[in-house]
C-alpha cells in the first residue's frame, strides 16, 4: 500500500559510478517522488531506502527496526550479503551495529567510558601529535595525496592507541584496514581475509592483556584492558564479544573519520569563500566557526551515506509505505541531511549554519558512540592543514576524482593537493 501519487518519470539509476560521484540529484528525486523507495541493491538484496529527514529520524529511533541480521527474511541469493564482509565467518557478529537491547545496552555501557568528553579531551594532545607528524612527512615535498598520506593513517593510529594496540603492530592494522575500505577494488576475498587476520590478532591481544592485567586500573587504561577488566568483574563479556567490540570500534571508527577529513577538505577546496572565512577565523585564534563548520561538513557531504542495516520485526508504516516483517531498511543520511523541509538552502555549504541537527552520526540508541573522538580528529585535522599549509589547493581537475564504491560509506579514493613546499 502507498499514499504516494505515481511519479512523473522513472526513478533515477542508483549505485552506478556516475551516481557515486554526485548522488544528491537522485536523492532529491527520491525525496520528492518516492521518499520510501524499494530497490535492488548491487549485491542483489532488496531493501527500502528512506530519504526524507522526518521519516529518517523516525526510522532511526524505531524499536521495530532491529539491528540484528537474524530478523532478515533473506532469500538464498542474499545470504550473508548484509553487514560487513567476513564478519560472520570470523565470529565477529556480536557488536553494537548488530544487536538490540538489552545486549546493546550492556555492551554500550561498557565501552562508553572510553568516549566521555573528559577522556576525549585527554586524548587531544596525541591527536595533535599524530596530525603534525603526518604533515611533517610531506610538507617539504609540496604535494600529497591527503587520503592515503593523511586522512587514512590519522584515525587508524588514533584508534589503535585508544584500543591499546602496541605501536609495533599498528602498521599491520593499517594494512588490514586499507583492504577493508577498498570496497571491491582489491583482490577477490581480500576483505574477508583481512577481517579474519584482524580477528586472530585481536584474540591473541586479548589473551596477552588478560595475562598481564594489573589488579588496579591505571589512569587512562586502554580500552581492550578495560573491556577485559569488566568481563572479569561480573559484566559477563565473552571473548567473542570483546573481540567484536574492538573490531567494530576500529572498523566504524576509522573509515568515518577518513571520509570526514577527505570529504570535508574537498568541500573547502571547492568552496574558496567558505575556506577563506575559516582560515581567517583560525588565524584570529577563534574556534566557533571551526566547530560549526565541521558540523556543516558532516551535513553537506558526510562520511556515512546510508545508515547501517535495519530489519523490520513487525509491520511498519513509514513515509506512506507498508514495510513487511523481515524486510531490510536503509536510512539514507545523505538524502535526509539535504531535505529542504528541514534545512534552509540545503545544497549550500554554510560553515556558520546554526540550526544544524544533522543525522550524520545517527539518532536514537545507536547514535555514534565515537562522535566526540571523530569531531576532535576532524577539527584538529582541518585546522592544522589550513594553518600549516595556507595555500593548499587541488592538484588537477575535480572531475577526475573518483569516489570509492560501497553501500554505506561515502569517500574519495584519492585527494591530490599542492602547496608551497616547506612553508610553516
Per DSSP, the residues of 248-293 read HHHHHHHHHHHHHHHHHHHHHHT-HHHHHHHHHHHHTT--HHHHHH
DSSP code of 400? G
Dihedrals φ, ψ of 126, to 5°?
-65, -40
**0.85 exceeded by pTM:** yes
DSSP code of 83? S
The CA distance from 294 to 375, in Å, is: 7
For residue 394, with 0-12 CB atoms within 10 Å meaning exposed, 13-18 middle and 19 or more buried, which class applies?
A: middle
233 Cβ neighbours under 8 A, 6+ residues apart: none
Dihedrals φ, ψ of 367, to 5°?
-55, 140
The CA distance from 87 to 309, in Å, is: 14
Cβ density class 213-235: b for 16+ within 10 Å, e for less: eeeeeeeebbbbbbbbbbbeeee
Alpha helices in 34-116 (DSSP H): 53-60, 103-112
Strand partners, 403: 412
All three cell numbers of 342: 528541514
For residue 222, give the nearest of 166, 283, 184, 278 by alpha carbon. Answer: 166
What is the full per-residue pLDDT of the chain (424 aa) written as tens digits?
A: 445 566 666 778 999 989 999 999 999 999 999 999 999 998 889 999 999 999 999 999 999 999 988 888 776 555 566 666 555 554 556 677 778 888 888 888 877 877 778 888 888 999 999 999 999 999 999 999 999 999 999 999 998 898 899 999 988 888 887 776 654 444 555 677 878 888 888 888 888 988 888 888 787 788 888 878 776 655 667 777 778 788 777 777 788 999 999 999 999 999 999 999 999 999 999 999 999 999 999 999 999 999 999 999 999 999 999 999 999 999 999 999 999 999 999 999 999 999 999 999 999 999 988 889 999 999 999 999 999 999 999 998 999 999 987 788 999 999 999 999 975 5
Amino acid at each position: 500500500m502507498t499514499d504516494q501519487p505515481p511519479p512523473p518519470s522513472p526513478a533515477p539509476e542508483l549505485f552506478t559510478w556516475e551516481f557515486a560521484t554526485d548522488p544528491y540529484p537522485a536523492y532529491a528525486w527520491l525525496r520528492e517522488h518516492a521518499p520510501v523507495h524499494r530497490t535492488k541493491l548491487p549485491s542483489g538484496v532488496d531493501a527500502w531506502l528512506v530519504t526524507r529527514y522526518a521519516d529518517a529520524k523516525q526510522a532511526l529511533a524505531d524499536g521495530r527496526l532491529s539491528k540484528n541480521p537474524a530478523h532478515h527474511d533473506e532469500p538464498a541469493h542474499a545470504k550473508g550479503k548484509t553487514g560487513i564482509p567476513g564478519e560472520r565467518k570470523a565470529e565477529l557478529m556480536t557488536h553494537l551495529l548488530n544487536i538490540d537491547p538489552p545486549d546493546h545496552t550492556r555492551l554500550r555501557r561498557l565501552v562508553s567510558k572510553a568516549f566521555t568528553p573528559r577522556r576525549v579531551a585527554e586524548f587531544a594532545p596525541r591527536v595533535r601529535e599524530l596530525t603534525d607528524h603526518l604533515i611533517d612527512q610531506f610538507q617539504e615535498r609540496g604535494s600529497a595525496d591527503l587520503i592515503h598520506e593523511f586522512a587514512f593513517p590519522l584515525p587508524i593510529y588514533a584508534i589503535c592507541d585508544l584500543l591499546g594496540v602496541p605501536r609495533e603492530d599498528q602498521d599491520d592494522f593499517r594494512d588490514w584496514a586499507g583492504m577493508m575500505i577498498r570496497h571491491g577494488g582489491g583482490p577477490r576475498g581480500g576483505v574477508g581475509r583481512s577481517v579474519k587476520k584482524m580477528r586472530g590478532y585481536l584474540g591473541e591481544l586479548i589473551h596477552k592483556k588478560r595475562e598481564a592485567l594489573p589488579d588496579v586500573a591505571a589512569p587512562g587504561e586502554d580500552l581492550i584492558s578495560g573491556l577485559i577488566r569488566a568481563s572479569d568483574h561480573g559484566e559477563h563479556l565473552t571473548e567473542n564479544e570483546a573481540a567484536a567490540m574492538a573490531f567494530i570500534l576500529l572498523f566504524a571508527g576509522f573509515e568515518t573519520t577518513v571520509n570526514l577529513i577527505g570529504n570535508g577538505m574537498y568541500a573547502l577546496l571547492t568552496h574558496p569563500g567558505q575556506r577563506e572565512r575559516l582560515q581567517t577565523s583560525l588565524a584570529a585564534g577563534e574556534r566557533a566557526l571551526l566547530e560549526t563548520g565541521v558540523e556543516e561538513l558532516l551535513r553537506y557531504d558526510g562520511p556515512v551515506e546510508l545508515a547501517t542495516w535495519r530489519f523490520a520485526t513487525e509491520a511498519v508504516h513509514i513515509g506512506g509505505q507498508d514495510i513487511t516483517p523481515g524486510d531490510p531498511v536503509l536510512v539514507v543520511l545523505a538524502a535526509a541531511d539535504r531535505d529542504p523541509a528541514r534545512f534552509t538552502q540545503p545544497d549550500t555549504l554554510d560553515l556558520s549554519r546554526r540550526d544544524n541537527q544533522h543525522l550524520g552520526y545517527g539518532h536514537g540508541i545507536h547514535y555514534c558512540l565515537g562522535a566526540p573522538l571523530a569531531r576532535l580528529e576532524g577539527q584538529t585535522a582541518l585546522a592544522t592543514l589550513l594553518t600549516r599549509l595556507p595555500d593548499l589547493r587541488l592538484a588537477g581537475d575535480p572531475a577526475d576524482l573518483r569516489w570509492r564504491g560501497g553501500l554505506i560509506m561515502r569517500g574519495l579514493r584519492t585527494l591530490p593537493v599542492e602547496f608551497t613546499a616547506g612553508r610553516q
